[in-house]
Amino acid sequence: MNATEIRLASRPHGVPTLENFEIADVEIPVPGEGQILVRNQVLSVDPYMRGRMSSAKSYAEPYEVGKVMHGGAVGEVLESTVDDFQPGDIVLHGLGWRSHAVVDAKHAVKVDPEAAPITAYLGVLGMTGLTAYAGLLDVAEFKEGDTVFVSGAAGAVGSVVGQLAKLKGAKRVIGSAGTDEKVKWLTDELGFDAAFNYKDAPVAEQLRAAAPEGIDVYFDNVGGEHLEAAIDSINLHGRMAICGMISVYNNTEPAAAPRNLASIIAKRFTMRGMLVGDHFALQPQFVKEVAPLVASGELKYSETIVDGIRNAPQAFLDLLGGANTGKMLVRV
């Protein structure tokens, strides 16, 4: 009895609670042919997991009630039945939410713990970093001189979006976040030109003040009031990458459409939904470009790391509540 796993105990109705999770102690699993046994060291908790806790069909399969959940993880190979992996290798894979994972070798990727801290492979150099890169450059078609607004700006994706835009010659970068400390971090540490606390006053009002000449690009992590504010401020032929809508993930009824969407006609702006999985071809280019920026400190990142796998459910709830700055992770 020396492995631990987190199972979905029940589907949440509205905001999830600890009762929706079950922590189970189990035997360490044994790898079969073509598999490796990994001792997970760090696990990712991500907003998309909220969707997978529901039964509604979406781009990712719902988690099964009573079964262990999964998500990104990095860990050390303990046993291997394949030549490509040796004990001691550090691998990235998709069987998080557990202390020990038996992973099909074809679904594991070796990472270099010397090149970057292992946590970075789940954040700034991993899925959330790629989301920022692909969303800004490919989906929103960012170009030099653009004024960019990003919501959820102090989170894993948003903090990279804003810095990349600055590094690539944005005229002005504006971010919104939910605490004054996060706002200060954006302007004082990450180099955002302006930032505001969306809880202080109506978003549209604060965005108009921060971007008096309007915005050319909106990177949406939040939806709802933020999206309406962005529509209000977007310039002619502006571009929106719709990456996330965390403000509606706990809704029990469909969210209302942006009330001012009709202005899409006069302003001829574009809104494009995105899924990072469609952009994996950009991964090598992303790593080549962003890894040196991270190593040199030109692109900064923050991680909020919670200790102990038994605290993973609480870490996930805290992520939805905004307790994280940068990437939320769990150290096993």
Question: In the bound complex, what is the minimum distance in angstroms from residue 317's beta carbon to ligand NDP?
Answer: 11
Figure out which of the listed residues 222, 271, 294, 332 binds ligand NDP, where binding follows CB under 6 A: 222
Figure out which of the listed residues 215, 247, 271, 294 binds ligand NDP, where binding follows CB under 6 A: 247
Given a contact cutoff of 8 angstroms between Cβ atoms, the answer to whether 159 and 133 are in contact is no
Please count the other Cβ atoms lying within 10 Å of the Cβ belonging to residue 34: 12
Question: In the bound complex, what is the minimum distance in angstroms from residue 276's beta carbon to ligand NDP?
Answer: 4
Question: In the bound complex, what is the minimum distance in angstroms from residue 285's beta carbon to ligand NDP?
Answer: 17
Torsion of CA 312, 314, 320, 323, to 10 degrees: -100
Figure out which of the listed residues 31, 35, 46, 96 binds ligand NDP, where binding follows CB under 6 A: 46
Spatial CA neighbour of 170 closest among 192, 197, 185? 192
β-bridge mates for residue 110, sequence order = 91
What residue ranges in 105-253 does DSSP mark as E strands?
109-110, 147-150, 172-177, 194-197, 215-220, 234-242
User: Should residue 157 be labelled a site residue for ligand NDP when binding is judged by CB under 6 A?
Assistant: yes
Q: Which three-class secondary structure state does DSSP give residue 112?
A: coil
Looking up tokens 């894979």 gives: 93
Structure-block tokens of residue 192: 């955002």
Structure-block tokens of residue 102: 């038996």
* Binding characters for ligand NDP, 176-195, by CB under 6 A (x = yes): -xxx--x-------------
Question: In the bound complex, what is the minimum distance in angstroms from residue 231's beta carbon to ligand NDP?
Answer: 16
Q: What are phi and psi of 260, to 5 degrees?
A: -105, 20
Question: In the bound complex, what is the minimum distance in angstroms from residue 51's beta carbon to ligand NDP?
Answer: 8
Figure out which of the listed residues 246, 290, 317, 329 binds ligand NDP, where binding follows CB under 6 A: 246
For residue 175, count CB atoms less than 10 angstroms from its CB and return exposed for 0-12, middle for 13-18, buried for 19 or more. Answer: buried
User: Should residue 230 be labelled a site residue for ligand NDP when binding is judged by CB under 6 A?
Assistant: no
- By CB under 6 A, the residues from 85 to 124 that bind ligand NDP are none
Question: In the bound complex, what is the minimum distance in angstroms from residue 131's beta carbon to ligand NDP?
Answer: 4
β-bridge mates for residue 90, sequence order = 76
Figure out which of the listed residues 35, 80, 128, 206 binds ligand NDP, where binding follows CB under 6 A: 128
Figure out which of the listed residues 275, 282, 291, 305 binds ligand NDP, where binding follows CB under 6 A: 275
- By CB under 6 A, the residues from 311 to 330 that bind ligand NDP are 319-320, 322, 324, 328
Figure out which of the listed residues 40, 131, 147, 206 binds ligand NDP, where binding follows CB under 6 A: 131
Figure out which of the listed residues 37, 90, 195, 276 binds ligand NDP, where binding follows CB under 6 A: 276
What residue ranges in the chain does DSSP mark as E strands?
3-8, 21-26, 35-44, 73-80, 90-93, 100-104, 109-110, 147-150, 172-177, 194-197, 215-220, 234-242, 270-273, 303-307, 327-331
Contact positions vs ligand NDP (CB under 6 A): 46-48, 128, 131, 152, 154-158, 177-179, 182, 221-222, 243-244, 246-247, 274-276, 319-320, 322, 324, 328
